[in-house]
Structures are given as C-alpha cells and as structure tokens.
Amino acid sequence: MKNKKLIWILLLLALWQAVALSGRVSPLTFPSLGMILKALVSSIMAGELLSQTVFSLVIILEGLLIGTLLALVLAIVSRTGDTMNSFVDTLITLAHPLPGIALLPIIILWLGTGRSAIVFIIVHSVLWPLLLNIIAGFKATPKLYSDVGRNIGLRGIKLFYDIYMPSSLPYLISGFKIAWARSWRALISAEMVFGAVGGKGGLGWYIFKQRVFMDTAGMFAALLLIMLIGILIEEVFFNKIEKQTIRRWGMAEK
Amino acid sequence: MIELKEVNKSFKRDQDTLKVLENISFTVEKGEILCILGASGSGKSTLLRLMGGFDFCDSGSISIGSEAVVSPSPDSILIFQDFNQLLPWKTVLQNVIYPMKVNKKYGSEQQRRDRAMEYLEMVQLADFYNAYPHQLSGGMKQRAAIARALALEPSILLMDEPFGSLDALTRQSLQELLLQIWKRAGVTIIFVTHDIQEAIILADRIIVMDNKPGRIKDIVQNSFDRPRDISGGDYLELYHRLYSMLSV
Amino acid sequence: MKISKRFLAGLLVLIMILSTGCAKPAETKEITIAEQFGLAYAPLQIMKELKLLEKNQPGVTINWKQMGNTAAIREAMIAKEVDIGFMAIPPFLIGWDKGMEWKIAGGLSTSPVGLVTNRSGVASIKDLNENDRIALPQPGSVQHILLSMASERELGDSKKLDNMLVTMAHPDGMNALQAKKDITAHFTAPPYLSQELKDQGNRMILSGEQAMGGEFTFIVGVTSQSFYQDNPQGYKSFLKALDEAIAYIYNNKTEAVKILSKAYEMSEQEIEEYLDTEGVSYGTEVKGVKSFADFMQRNGYISKTPKDRKEIMWDEVNYEE
C-alpha cells in the first residue's frame, strides 16, 4: 500500500517535471521541480518559511487545545440530562454546518484581525466535529463497561474518565483527525485573508506574499511544506498513536 | 445473609408492561453456592442484576446483611456471560490490578501486583499477564474476569451464565476451577444458568424458575458430596426431576 | 504491468494536449480589460459607459473585468485571459522583473495617497514606535513601497516599519483606524483618505509625494507583448479611446460626474469634490517609474532595473522622469 502510494507520487512528480520542461508553459505558472526545491531550500535557509510555519503550528495547537477542552466540557454537560443534551444538540446543529471562513466578517467585527481571530476560527473548526465524535463515542460505549466500572466502585467523573474516555478513544482519534484536517485548512485560508501582524502571518500569509511578489516557485515550495506537514501528522503521528492504542487494544475496527 | 422479600419487577415496552419477576423471596446463606436455574425469559438475569444493585425492583426488598442493596458495590461482583467484560485498553494484569487500585486495596502498587499475579496463577493465566484481552480466547477471558473479581475479595460473586458461551470441555474445566477457588476463598456464589447439569455440579441449592412471569417454582436441596460425577444414578434422578420442572 | 502501460499512454496524451493547447487565434475579435475598484480608474468607467473603444474598433467585443487585487490581474494576464490591465507601478515592475512579457501603454491617473494616523503626538513617521500598527493593502503594493521609501529617507532603513504593518484592504483599514483599537495608522488612497481626514482626531503625516520625493503616476495601463504585436489596431484604438475618455472628464464635466456617480454609487457632489481634490488628475503621461525601480532594486523587491525605457514601455508612451 505504502509502496504503491510512493510510486504514484513519483509518477506525478515526473509528469509535473515533463510539463514544466516541455517549454510550452511559463515558469511563472509552472515552475520546474528544481526551481521549487531551490525555493524551498532557500526560504528555509532564510528562516522565514520555518518561522511562519512555527507561527501557524502554534496557533493550531492553541486552537486544538481550547477546542478539545470545550468539546469535552460540552460533551460532559450533554450527559447531565435531557435538557442539556438537547441544548448541546441544538448548538451542534446550528454551528456545525458553518464553515469558519464564512464567519470571518463577524469575527473581524468582534475580535479584529489579530491572532485571536484566527484562533477563534480554529476553535470553531475543531470544536464541532470533535464534540460530535466524543458524544458518538460515549453513546457507543458498551453498557457492559459502565456496569463493570460501577461494580468496582467508579462513580461520576471518575467513571467518565476511566471508562467512557478510553472506550471512546477510536471515536476520539477519528474526531481529532477530522479536527486537524479542518483546522489546518481553515488556518491557511484565514491567514491568506487576514494578512500579517508585525510580519508574522503564518504559512497562509507566506503563500499570499509569494503570490504578491510573483514568486511562483516559492508558492509551490510553501504548498509542498503544507502537504509534508499534513502527511507527517496524518500518516505518521496519528498512525503511531493508533498503533500504540486502539490497534494494540483490538479496538480499531469500530 | 442475602435476603429477598416479595421482589417484583416489570419492564415497560411501548404501551405494554411486561412482568418479569413476581413475588420472589429467598435467602442465601453465607458461603453457599446457589444456582438459579431457568429457561430464557424466566427473569433470572434480571434477578441477578437486582441483587447486584444495577437495577431497582418495583416493590419488595433486597438486603445483604442488614443493609438494603441500592447500588453496585465492590463487595458483590457480577461476572457476565459476555466475554468482553474485560477492559480492552488494559492488559490482563492491569485489568486485575485496576479494581484493587480504585478501592485502595493494599498499600502499594507492588503488593497489588503480587496479589494480582497470585489470582492469575489461580486461574492459570499467569503466562498471559501481559496480553491484551483481544488476544485471549473466550475461556481465558472468563478466567481473567473471575481473577479480577476475586482479587477484590468480595463476599459475594454474582455469576450470570459466565460459561454459557463456551464449548463443553472448557466449560467443564472452568466449573472445576470455580469449585476449587470457592473452597479456598469461601465466597458466596449466586450462579445463574439454564444448564441443569451445571446446576447439579455446582450448587448447594437450586432455585428453579418458572417462565413469564418469573416465579420461584421450587427450591431444591443438592447435598451430594463433591466432586460430583453426574453419570451416577442418583444424579440422573435429580436431573430428571429438574428437567421435568423446567419443561412444564 | 498492463496498467502502467496504459498509464504511460495517458501521460503521453496529456503532455501532447498541454504542449499544443496554448495557441491563440491570430485575429483578435475580443479585447479584455482588467481594472480595480476606485475613483483612480474613473476614465475607464467613462470609456465603458460611452463605448469609446467600441466606436474606435468596430466589430470587436470588449470585456471588462473588475478584479480584487493586482496579483489577480497579473495572473490573468499570464494566462492570456486579459489583454490590458491597470495597476500601480510597483506591482507592474515586480511582474516585469519576474519575466512577464508586458509593458506600460500609458498613464491613467495621479492621486493623492497618504499615511493617516489617529494617535495624537505623532507628527511624522519618526514618532511611530513598535506599538503602532500601520494598515495597508499588501506588501509590494504602491502604498507599501511608498512607506518604505519614506522609511529609507527619514529613518535610514526601508524595512524599519515592516514589523508594524498589518495587511488590510482599504475599507477594512479605514474601519480599523476609526475603531481606534490596535490600528493606529493607515496608508490609503481616495475616497478613504478624505473620509478619514474628515475625522478631527486623524491627521495625515506623510503624503505620497513626500514619500517619493516627487510626482508619480498612481495607476498605469499595461498590455501584454502578444496583444501589442498581434493586435496593433486594437492597441491604437485603445490609446485613442483612453485619450477621449480623459478629455471627456475635463471637457464635459457635468455629464462625466453623472456617469461616475452612477458607476460608483456615490452622490454627484461627492464625485465633484473628489475631482476637485488637489493632486487628483487624469492623463496618459507616466512619471516616477525610474524612482520606483531604483528604490525597489536597491531594497531587493526586484532584481534589476530597466536599462532603457524601451524595456518597460511601448514607444508611444509619453514618459518623463
């Protein structure tokens, strides 16, 4: 499976290079792999690409953290009774279909265009899918586990933490996968719209700036980096977590 | 020691109310093995859940010692028929240690570990202490569940057809194992089953349940010496007596 | 192995399509012009409304595109979707530096631009400190280059203010300045400039001319090499129509104000006020290219300067430095 993917990637790269070198396309629209790689290396060496990437990743982490905490709190609240359950359900119904970018004009009015606005968008794109998955995970927790938990003396928050949480881990992980993908996309788009404050605007801003200065190779270099980070997180990070938890525990088929 | 007085229980399904248990009264003596024998639908599992405090009865009372049963307690552990009662995210050893830890049994983690290993040896699972539940067979999982229950040193084990889904050979060896452990631990066992043979092998007394609604048909004394060889004629007589009661 | 053979065949087909698909028909029956929003583009609205280009070039369809920023116009011109584009000089120079085959066809307008602040006690950019935030459209925009020029001259370092910049479109920047929160200064152009200056608390601390140290054309018209070569008649008609449109604004002011009032959804009085603003003028002469180019090359925004005006302007352009 892995090898097949690699072959496809190599073929696509070859196709790219063939088109770039055909002489029929301008390097302004279709830079060669060499130009892209050179741009990647030089912008990394210059430090800016990496510092913008770190800026973006820190924002993502912040948004993920706040979003996760909120999702957990809301999930617990939703289990305290029918009233709260329907309240949280309503919130999800209303907010989940809203793309973060569509909220942008309102966020600018409320929070301005600074860092907090982007964090807000990330939180929004993380919170709802995660909350949905956590609740689904709780619902899917076998009664057997909670019976066992109550039998050995677990109650309330301890029951929640020791039984419901690990039992919904497969849902939690897939929730995180969705949350990561959404927040990463939302971040890049928000950064492209918001522009930079004090020169720091993240990867999205970096791409926008390369566009403004017509550095097409530099744009693709940043895109390449975005892809690499995406692959790294999805294929390596989540894969590793799954291997060490739910696959090891035989819970992955859910 | 355990006393049930005129326990009634019904479930609502749509508009209908389904009477599951009617006027159940009996007592369980400390240290005995009591089997509740009945066909499916006789409410025997419901009865066990009530005794464990997992559910409330509509009327009547259940008490252990002098205290009414209101919620599940680590002093009476329920063992289910379902193999998946072990927590899949913990190894076999962790599954056994964890309830002790929750109940602050023993002073140190090392002591808990030692105790857990003892119980795992008792159920012949010591070699698998580091395995995860999904790597075990059904019989091994049930043995681990028994070890986990025993490690808490409860005074009562509530067993809900724990060997019901196992093949005949495994079931037999687990029945023998249970009897050995029972002798050593001196625990009171209430064992629900639909298997007449199993009831004869295990029980000091057998409560035979009637169907729909579940009522006590008879309480049969079973005072054969252990170990019991059910091929003998006396056993056969008891078997037929129970069988005829169940099939009416 | 069958699959990879089939794949290679597909690959070949794709390459063939890509390598033949870009040819353009020789005779052009359409001319596409791209502009941006703002009163600096007023002659184009006249040209559009009075169909001046259509009159000079019968039988040709004229398409008008209004685009959000210069980068989009540049990209459309690379893709040969746009023949004539209007923008400020710095973005044009960036495209030229990167190898775009295009040249300036003529000027369009001169306009006052300036840096407005809402912070009392700030009299010049020397008084700005690291807590100030300056809103402007984007790096590489004429506003950014002008501010950098002033920074180089007055503070000795063209990039000294870069860490205070916040990228915002003009309307957002105006709102942010009026909100008096984090944004303390805004480099902008009409009509936002005059609107901001109506507020007593706001002052202009730097004008475009001060920053540049001389006059400069705000918006120029740019055409691609291919349009210039393949469609000389269209090119000539376009220049003629542009002249006519500009003349119309000055000779038929009442009519022009009416047209513009409709086009910009502003009152006739506002339009008139704007046209009478000092520093606002329309004309095809081009000024300030060399100063921009020298500055931008010196500070690394472009890699080279034009050795000759021919490199960046068609012969017909009325150019003065």
Q: How far is CA A84 from CA A80, A88, A94, A95, C264, in A?
A: 7, 6, 15, 16, 51
Task: Give the model confidence (pLDDT) of B93-128 as tens digits.
Answer: 999 999 999 998 888 999 999 999 988 988 888 999
Alpha carbons within 13 angstroms on the beta-carbon side of residue C152 total 16
- Residue A44 C-alpha, separation from nearest chain B C-alpha, in angstroms: 42
Q: Does residue A7 sit within a domain? A: no
Residues in chain B within 8 Å Cβ distance of A251: 88-89, 134
Query: pLDDT at residue A98 above 70?
Result: yes
- Given an 8 Å threshold on Cβ–Cβ distance, is B133 in contact with A154? no
A189: CATH: 1.10.3720.10
Q: Does residue A201 sit within a domain? A: yes
Domain that holds residue A39: 32-246
User: Using 50, 70 and 90 to split pLDDT, how confident is the model at C143?
Assistant: very high
Instruction: Please state, in angstroms and rounded to a whole number, the distance separating the CA atoms of residues C261 and A106.
Output: 30
pLDDT at position C11, please? 58
Rounded average pLDDT over A71-92: 89
Q: Does residue A1 sit within a domain? A: no
Query: pLDDT at residue C90 above 80?
Result: yes
- Given an 8 Å threshold on Cβ–Cβ distance, is B89 in contact with A251? yes
Mean pLDDT of all residues belonging to chain A: 87
Instruction: Please state, in angstroms and rounded to a whole number, the distance separating the CA atoms of residues C210 and C261.
Output: 31
- B202 touches B180 (CB < 8 A): no
**DSSP string of A113-168?**
TSHHHHHHHHHHHHHHHHHHHHHHHHHHS-HHHHHHHHHTT--HHHHIIIIIHHHT
Mean pLDDT of all residues belonging to chain C: 86
Question: What is the pTM assigned to this prediction?
Answer: 0.77
Task: Give the model confidence (pLDDT) of C226-261 as tens digits.
Answer: 899 988 888 999 999 999 999 999 999 999 999 999
Instruction: Please state, in angstroms and rounded to a whole number, the distance separating the CA atoms of residues C174 and A82.
Output: 48
Does the CB of C168 have a partner CB in chain A at under 8 Å? yes
Instruction: Please state, in angstroms and rounded to a whole number, the distance separating the CA atoms of residues A38 and A217.
Output: 8
Q: Does residue A4 sit within a domain? A: no
pLDDT at position B23, please? 86
User: Using 50, 70 and 90 to split pLDDT, how confident is the model at C164?
Assistant: confident
Query: Tokens 């944004």 correspond to what residue?
Result: C183
Q: Does residue A216 sit within a domain? A: yes
Residues in chain A within 8 Å Cβ distance of C168: 113, 195
Q: Which domains does chain C have, with CATH numbers?
A: 30-111+218-320 (3.40.190.10), 114-212 (3.40.190.10)
Q: Which helix (H) or strand (E) element contains residue C267?
A: none
Q: Does residue A101 sit within a domain? A: yes
Rounded average pLDDT over B43-59: 90
- Given an 8 Å threshold on Cβ–Cβ distance, is C179 in contact with A205? no
Contacting A with CB below 8 Å, chain B residues are: 52, 54, 71-74, 77-78, 80, 82, 84-85, 87-89, 98-99, 102-103, 132-135, 152
- Judging by beta carbons within 10 Å of its beta carbon (0-12, 13-18, 19+), is residue A79 exposed, middle or buried? middle
Coil, helix or strand at residue C320: strand
Query: pLDDT at residue B158 above 90?
Result: yes
Distance of CA B65 to the CA centre of its chain: 19
Of A15, A25, A196, the CB nearest to C167: A196
Mean pLDDT of all residues belonging to chain B: 88
Can chain A be said to touch chain B, i.e. do they have 3 or more Cβ pairs within 8 angstroms?
yes
Query: Tokens 């942008």 correspond to what residue?
Result: A104
Phi, psi angles (nearest 5°) of residue B186: 65, 30
Does the CB of C12 have a partner CB in chain A at under 8 Å? no
How many domains does chain A contain in total? 1
Instruction: Please state, in angstroms and rounded to a whole number, the distance separating the CA atoms of residues B156 and A223.
Output: 64
Does the CB of C145 have a partner CB in chain A at under 8 Å? no
- Given an 8 Å threshold on Cβ–Cβ distance, is A251 in contact with B98? no
Buried b (16+ CB within 10 A) or exposed e, A87-119: ebeeebeeeeeeebbebbeebbeeebbbbebbb
For the beta carbon of residue B173, count every other beta carbon within 10 angstroms. Answer: 15
Query: pLDDT at residue C24 above 50?
Result: no
Rounded average pLDDT over B74-96: 93
- A212 touches C178 (CB < 8 A): no
pLDDT at position A4, please? 85
User: Using 50, 70 and 90 to split pLDDT, how confident is the model at A254?
Assistant: very low
- Given an 8 Å threshold on Cβ–Cβ distance, is A22 in contact with C18? yes
Q: Which two tokens stand for residue A116?
A: 């907090």
pLDDT at position A253, please? 62
User: Using 50, 70 and 90 to split pLDDT, how confident is the model at C22?
Assistant: very low
Query: Tokens 């008891």 correspond to what residue?
Result: B238
Coil, helix or strand at residue C135: strand
- Given an 8 Å threshold on Cβ–Cβ distance, is C71 in contact with A27? no
Q: Which helix (H) or strand (E) element contains residue C307?
A: none
Comparing CA positions, the residue from A136, A197, A147 lying closest to residue A171 is A136
Percent of chain C residues past pLDDT 70, beyond the cut: 91
Residue of B nearest to A147 (CA): B54
Query: pLDDT at residue B180 above 90?
Result: no
Q: Does residue A24 sit within a domain? A: no
Subunit partners of chain A (3 or more CB pairs within 8 A): B, C
Of C15, C78, C91, the CB nearest to A18: C15
Beta strands in C191-262 (DSSP E): 203-207, 219-224
Of A148, A152, A250, the CB nearest to B103: A152
pLDDT at position A114, please? 72
Of A153, A169, A248, the CB nearest to B102: A153
Residues in chain B within 8 Å Cβ distance of A145: 87
Does the CB of A249 have a partner CB in chain B at under 8 Å? yes
Query: pLDDT at residue C17 above 60?
Result: no
Q: Does residue A26 sit within a domain? A: no
Interface confidence, given as ipTM, is 0.88
